[in-house]
Structure 1
């Protein structure tokens, strides 16, 4: 048996089940919000910045520009150096509290500001104070070890980390995701009710599904039409 649903019927189905869709959205959003607040551990991120400086300040403009471009290209190399075992092993030992090289590496990330000589060092942790302390230690050891490792002295601290920002869970994004999930569930339930509803709504459905002609129709009968009220009154009089 095939049944074609028109656009008008789709809109009508959604209209009749609006309350179901709204309830699903509210329940889903509240559920996601509660889960994020009671079962998801918050994460905090602290960031420090390192600047790749020029080796000489008295060079002409062409040489300075060439050196700046070379420094920008070296940013990726510095990013690898920051996350190298040599840097992180020393930092992990200084952090203590059972911190391992692998555990610290999973918390540290490095990126750079596009077309600049600035490197951002990120550390993410459950504790904001620990995130700040760890990024400060990693940055300090990077600045200390880099001159001997790369034989250069053009790296300096631009901004140290003194605060940490909460990066997860994102309550607004979670609520939007929960509402969208509720919307999808509500629509599925609405069309599920429509598909599994076996009641006949139009004469054409009777002809199509039962393969028999419609002889006639009977309108809705209310109590006043079938003598219910008069019968009730007569029974009350008999009792009296």
Structure 2
């Protein structure tokens, strides 16, 4: 029963100050929209696909064990791509405009279950540079892998292309987050304002919460009644002054 009353009271609080919740929700949407469009730097991604096999593709019969070994080797290829043997050469090709750590943070190796194909994904603030870096890494890896591991075939299946559509920030997602945060903040503010308001507006507060006896109500006078009462008082005061001035009792 107490939970039911509490929920009802909470609903009344929120209903009473609905404008606070609406206002903060709109502020949340506006803030995240401005932040996403004008403050956050958009980022773009480009991906190139690579196939590496340790056995010649012209072989007519490829054993299942060999394919599984090639799939397991992808983790090794990932480490090689992130190794200085590839990263340093790519940095040199880019004119040393990036450090090794900065370049490694931009690169992500994407693998697929039960597939010998993996992708090199690069995320950058410039879509053209993202594609350029991805293709450079793929080419450098292709040229140097034989010096590290004995492989017979490294094929670049598809080169990275510049994509003008940013992958982040996501405007719609940020707006949803903004309205949710604004809504929750509005609910919190509404509850705080209501609990801090100590004015008695209902006789239930006196009888149920304070435990006092309700003796009666004092009705509020209308403005017209107040004006008439004021005129009667002024008339009485004026009459008394006049009576005194004439020497009356």
TM-score of the two chains, using structure 1 as the length reference: 0.85
Unaligned runs of 5+ in 1: 236-240
Aligned partner of 1:128 in structure 2 is 127
Deviations 1:178-214 (A, max 9, x none): 1111001110111011101111133232245655422
Give the alignment's TM-score, normalised by structure 2: 0.82
- The change in CA–CA distance for 1:76 and 1:136 in structure 2 (over 3 A counts) is same
Shift of 1:22: 1.1
Q: How does 1:37-56 map to 2 (within 5 A)?
A: 37-53=37-53, 54-56=55-57
Deviation at 1:230, TM superposition (A): 9.1
Aligned to 2:223: 223
Paired residue for 2:75?
A: 76
**Which protein has the larger Cα radius of gyration, Structure 1 or Structure 2?**
2
Shift of 1:148: 1.8
**CA deviation string 1:91-123 (max 9, x = no partner):** 110111532222211211112122211111011
Q: Please say if residues 71 and 117 of structure 1, whose CA atoms lie closer than 8 Å, have aligned partners that are also in contact.
A: yes
**1:187 counterpart = 2:187:** yes
2:52/2:151 contact within 8 Å kept: no
Deviation at 1:5? 6.0
Matches within 5 A, 1:1-240: 6-53=6-53, 54-60=55-61, 63-164=62-163, 165-207=165-207, 212-224=212-224, 226=225, 228=227
Could you say what secondary structure the match of 1:157 adopts? Answer: strand
Runs of 4+ in 1 over 6 A off after TM superposition: 229-232
Number of the residue aligned with 2:239: none
Partners of 1:93 and 1:99 within 8 A in 2: no
